[in-house]
Amino acid sequence: MTLMGEKLATIGPEMVLSVGALLCLFLGLARSARVRHATPLIAGVSLVLCIVGPMAWSAARPAAPGEIALVLGLAATPMAAFLKITIASIGLLLLLVSYRTPDQLPQNIEIERSGAAFDPGQTTRGEFFAFFLMSLAGAMLCAGADGLVWLFLALELTSLPTYIMLVTTRQSTLAREATVKYFFLGALAVAMFLYGFTLIYGATGVTQLYTTPVTEGLATVQSVVAEWRQEGQPLPLMLLVGMGLAILGISFKIAAVPMHLYTADVYQGATTPMTAFLAFVPKTAGFASLVLLLGTLGWPLPEPIAAMLWIMAVLTMTVGNVLGLMQTSVKRALAYSSIAHSGYMLVGLLAGSAAMEAGQPVVASGIAGILFYLVAYGVANLASFGVLGCLKRQGEEAETYQDISGLHHRHPWLAAIMLISLLSLIGLPPLVGFLGKIYLFAPAFFTGEPAMIWLVVIALINSAISAVYYLRIAAAIYFGQPSEEVERDEQTARMTGSGIAATAAVVLGLGAGALGLTDMLAKAADQPGKVLIQPADTDGDEAASEDRSNIPSATAGRN
């Protein structure tokens, strides 16, 4: 196997997605309607390849230590591998849910109906799926990012396509308003974390987070910080403020306080499948980035950062839940619930890998909690928005409590899917949300610090509050008067997608351990940025790479 082949295998999924995106882009402009309709299929195939490819690759060549899997700025970490598979799998479900979204646009309906002559300037099918894949690729790149530059680019690649998808998938003034808010505030957030990155670079002098392409000699943010912390020096203000700004800027993507304000408006304005997309993809990218960034500091986090995150976590879950209580629109309530769930995940971020001990055989780190919760939230969120997307009220999207009232009597299966997802969001056993919350809160609890225990208590109270509005949705579905005006949109794919997600919520809740997920998690959460597979051309130098902290000092000695 050539060196280049190895390197490219690391970004294989992203490359497959990019190629798929380009194909969608071109075929979306095809003259034949049948070819144009094949674009979602291509997107699906490329996502499947993303899942199967790496597995086949590693099955064909079990990775031995001392082999290269490090591509300039991107690292093949177990966490990245886990997140890539997660993103691709949930992306596949998202694809099912948004399979017919472009078809529902007025101009496309018009074209289909009138049989008008083909006009490449009017069709928007291919682009939608192209941007869909691009955004997923961006999220995957975030997971494997190993440098500030790369993180910045990957975050941009995640979010830029979402702006376009947001405004083009719904022809309504609401969607345009949502886009202008999302985009402009997003640009503000980008500027903020960019300034944060600048300060981090300023403090440490490097942009690489964990590993450098030049394994010998150059420092990384992690090694520099580790050295400072080892020597007991106070961390420079520039680093702390830079980290703070970077976290705050990225917290726009995860919709955490104070960068959450856009969330409800944007989720409401977006078309429902798009909302499901927005609630998962940027959030995953954001959390991956946060884990990677904070991993350079190491857990327990420095006090100022921990204090900030603590306050953010408390505010995020509380604001999300109390505002969720106030809503008359189910979509908005779920948007606020999305905020609240980010708050829960911040708990895991705070706990970090503090509870990990060497040789520990079980999942017990907050990082693992976050990774698992991303899956748990991903499926539950997708199922609930998918069900919402299956309903129409006089051709408009259903979104109020009234619209879903009595759903059980008209569409018992949609109601059951919704119920499962809501129960999972509440965190009731044996659904995946319960396991997710345990994995998130237990590590924080086991740190034994009073602040963390209080945080867990607050999180539990918040879970109880959130149950009120989730159960209100469930009550409307099961006990409300059915509304005749609401009808099911004939969307087999969308319903299948949510159905699979709901099933996954049950199956993962019972069998996360049996499916090997916990083992994967334990590996993935071992240490953010830790490259298990070392470059091949440092053979004989493994000892040095294992203990990265003495590399900079070795070179520093020569200065």
Partner 1 sequence: MDVSMVKWIPWISLLSAAICGVLCFRRAWGVWAAPVTITAIAASFVVAMLAAPSGLLRDDDGRIADALGKSPHDIGQTVKAIDWINLNERDALMDDGSPPATLEEARGLADQHQSARIIESGEAGYSVRVPGLSANFSYYIDPLTLLMLFVVCGIGSLVAIYGAGYMKGDKGYARFFAAVSIFIFAMTSMVMGDNLVLLFLGWEMVGLASYLLIGYYFKKPSAAAAARKAFIVNRIGDLGFALGIFLTYMRYDTVVISEVLAMATSPEHVADWRDYWIPFLLMLGALGKSAQIPLYVWLPDAMEGPTPVSALIHAATMVTSGVYMIARLHPLFENSPYALPTVATIGGVTAFFAATIATSQFDLKKIYAYSTVSQLGYMFLGVGMGVRYAIFGGLFHLLTHAFFKALLFLTSGNVMHGTHGQLDIRKLSGLRHLMPFTCWLMLAGCLSLAAFPLTAGFFSKDAILVGVFEQGLAETDPNRWYVVLGVLGLVTAFLTPFYAFRAWFRVFMGPEKYEMGTEAHGDEEEHAHPSGADSHLIDEDHHAHDDKPHEASWLMLAPLFVLALGALFVGIIGYKPVKELVEGSTAVISTGKESLISADLNLTLIIQIASGIIATLGILTAAYFHWLNRQAGQNLADRLAGPIRVLENKYWVDEIYDLAIVKPLRLLGWIFQLVDTLLVGGLVKLFGWLPRLLGQLARPSQSGVLHGYGLSMLAGVALLVLLILLAAR
Partner 2 sequence: MDSARSRPVGVSESTLAGQQIDLWKVAKRCGHAYLLPSSGTGCWEDVFAAIITLNDPLRCDPRIMDSAVLYALYVATVVGAIALILIMPGAFSTAIRRIGGLLGAATLGGLWLWLGRFLPELGTDQAPFLYYYLFSGIAIIAAVRVISHTKPVYAALWFVMVILSSAGLLLILQAEFMAFALVIIYGGAILVTYMFVIMLAAQAGDASHAEDAPEYDRVAREPVLAVLVGFLMMALLLTAIHEPAPEVPAARGPSDMAIKVAMLTDRPEERAIQRLPPEQRELVRQTFGQRGMAEAFGPVIAQIADRELQTRELEEFQAAIGAWVEAQPWRDVKPRPSTQQLPLLVDRLLLETIDQQVSSIAGRALTEEDRRLLQQTLANQRVLGNVERVGFDLFNAHPLGLELAGVILLVALIGAVIMARQRVTAADEPEQPAIDEEVSA
Partner 3 sequence: MSTPLSGMLLSHFLMTGAILFGLGLIGFVTRRNLIIMFLCTELMFQGVVISLVSLSLHHGNFEGQTFVIFVLTIAAAEAALALGLVVLLYRGRKTLDGTAWALLRG
Q: What is the 3-state secondary structure (H, E, C) of 141-158?
A: HHHHECEHHHHHHHHHHH
CB 395 to partner 3: min, Å = 19
CB 209 to partner 3: min, Å = 12
- Binding span for partner 2 by CB under 8 A among 295-303, 359-367, 486-494, 548-556: 548-556
340 touches partner 3 by CB under 8 A: no
The per-residue b/e assignment along 145-159, b for 16 or more CB within 10 angstroms, e otherwise, is bbbbebbbbbbebbb
The Cα-based distances of 350 to 23, 271, 305, 447, 449 in angstroms read 42, 33, 9, 10, 11
Cβ–Cβ < 8 Å for 332, 264: yes
DSSP three-state, residue 391: strand
Tell me whether residue 37 or residue 410 sits nearer to partner 1 (CB atom). 410
The Cα-based distances of 287 to 79, 120, 510 in angstroms read 12, 38, 25
- Binding span for partner 3 by CB under 8 A among 82-90, 95-103, 107-115, 159-167: 159-167
Q: Count Cα neighbours of 370 within 13 Å in the Cβ-side half-sphere.
A: 33
Indicate the DSSP class of residue 299: S
CB 157 to partner 3: min, Å = 10
Q: Which of partner 2, partner 3, partner 1, none has residue 191 at its interface (CB below 5 to 8 Å by kind)?
A: partner 3
CB 285 to partner 3: min, Å = 15
Strand partners, 551: none
177 touches partner 3 by CB under 8 A: yes
Q: Of 14, 7, 12, 8, nearest to 285 (Cα)?
A: 14
Chosen residue from 265, 487, 489, 519 binding partner 3 by CB under 8 A: 265
Cβ–Cβ < 8 Å for 126, 36: yes
Chosen residue from 126, 269, 343, 529 binding partner 3 by CB under 8 A: 269
CB 316 to partner 3: min, Å = 19
Return the H-helix or E-strand segment holding 166.
Answer: helix 148-168
Binding residues for partner 1, rule: CB under 8 A, are 180-181, 184-185, 188-189, 192, 234-235, 237, 240-241, 244-245, 248, 252, 257-259, 261-262, 264-265, 302-305, 307-308, 311-312, 318-319, 321-323, 325-326, 355, 360-364, 413, 429-430, 435, 438-439, 442-443, 446, 465, 468, 510-514, 518
Tell me whether residue 346 or residue 531 sits nearer to partner 1 (CB atom). 346
CA angle 173, 175, 176 (to 5 degrees): 65
Site for partner 2 in 114-173 (CB under 8 A): 121-122, 124, 127, 130-131, 134, 141, 149-150, 153-154, 156-157, 160-161, 163-164, 167-168, 171, 173
Q: Of 377, 197, 366, 368, nearest to 281 (Cα)?
A: 377
Q: Which of partner 2, partner 3, partner 1, none has residue 261 at its interface (CB below 5 to 8 Å by kind)?
A: partner 1
- The DSSP code sequence of 452-497 is HHHHHHHHHHHHHHHHHHHHHHHHHHHHSPPPTTEEE---HHHHHH
Give every strand in the sheet of 391-393, ordered side by side.
396-397, 391-393, 486-488
452 touches partner 3 by CB under 8 A: no
Q: Which tokens hold the place of 412?
A: 């018992």
Q: Which of partner 1, partner 3, partner 2, none has residue 121 at its interface (CB below 5 to 8 Å by kind)?
A: partner 2
CA angle 391, 393, 396 (to 5 degrees): 95
Tell me whether residue 139 or residue 347 sits nearer to partner 3 (CB atom). 139
Footprint of partner 2 (CB under 8 A): 11, 18, 25, 71-74, 107, 121-122, 124, 127, 130-131, 134, 141, 149-150, 153-154, 156-157, 160-161, 163-164, 167-168, 171, 173, 176, 195, 199, 202-206, 213-219, 223-224, 236-238, 240-242, 535, 537-541, 551-559
